[in-house]
Amino acid sequence: MASYDTQKNIIDAIKTIVSAEVTKTSTTSSKVGIVVEDPVGFSCNVDIGGQTFSCQLPEHLHSWIQANDIVIVQDLYGDGSKKIVTGKTGSINPTPSLVFFDEASQKNISGVDYVEDENGNKMDTYGTI
């Protein structure tokens, strides 16, 4: 019995040490939020649960994200020091500004978020092609 108790105490000690060390680690986490205003360069403000955070936009997203988009925000280091938008899942706008309609399937098949004029200014309009 003494050997069993010794082994059990060693295993319990290992579990205690491992549990303590695991609680010290930080990992990335992702949350969903809504872009509050149009981004400026590679930065945007995102509302997550009623709190606004400044987030970085990666190069491939900076021209695709706009106000009212629903985005995935990753806490890069798990400590709140750097948040980055990793993707867009939709928008809270009632309809997209430009939609492509497929007559064969009788469905909208694609869309973009806004229409620009020849000078690059956003137009307050909607359309279907």
CATH number at residue 70: 2.40.50.140
**Integer Cα distance of 114 and 96 in angstroms:** 7
Residues 121 and 72 in one domain: no
Give the position of tokens 């869309």.
Answer: 111
Q: Specify the number of domains making up the chain.
A: 2
Residue 75 within a domain: yes
Does pLDDT of 129 surpass 60? no
Residue 45, domain member (yes or no): yes
Locate 20 and state its tokens.
Answer: 């303590």
Does 28 score more than 90 pLDDT? no
Do residues 66 and 33 both lie within one domain?
A: yes
User: How does the average pLDDT of the chain come out, rounded?
Assistant: 85
Q: With 60 as the cut, is the pLDDT of residue 52 above it?
A: yes
Q: What is the residue range of 119's domain?
A: 98-128
State which amino acid sits at residue 16: T
The per-residue pLDDT for range 55-69, each reduced to its tens digit, is: 999 998 887 888 899
6 within domain boundaries: no
Residue 23 counted as domain residue: no
Asked whether residue 81 falls in the same domain as residue 113, the answer is no
pLDDT band at 95 (very low <50, low <70, confident <90, very high): low
Contact at 8 Å (CB) between 28 and 78? yes
Task: Write down the pLDDT at residue 86.
Answer: 96
Quickly tell me which residue has 């970085």 as its tokens: 56
* Residue 81 and residue 35 share a domain: yes
Q: Compute the distance between CA of residue 60 and CA of residue 86 in angstroms, rounded to an integer.
A: 10
2 within some domain? no
**Per-residue pLDDT at 110:** 63
Q: Which secondary-structure segment (H or E) carries 13?
A: helix 2-24
Considering the domain architecture, whether residues 67 and 105 belong to the same structural domain is answered as no
Three-point CA angle 64, 69, 70, nearest 5°: 120
Determine the pLDDT at residue 127: 61
Flag whether pLDDT at 45 surpasses 90.
yes
pLDDT at 33 over 60: yes
Co-location of 107 and 78 in the same domain: no
Q: By three-state DSSP, how is residue 87 classified?
A: strand
Q: Please name which of 80, 75, 84, 35 lies closest in space to residue 55, comparing C-alpha atoms.
A: 84
Position 16 in a domain: no
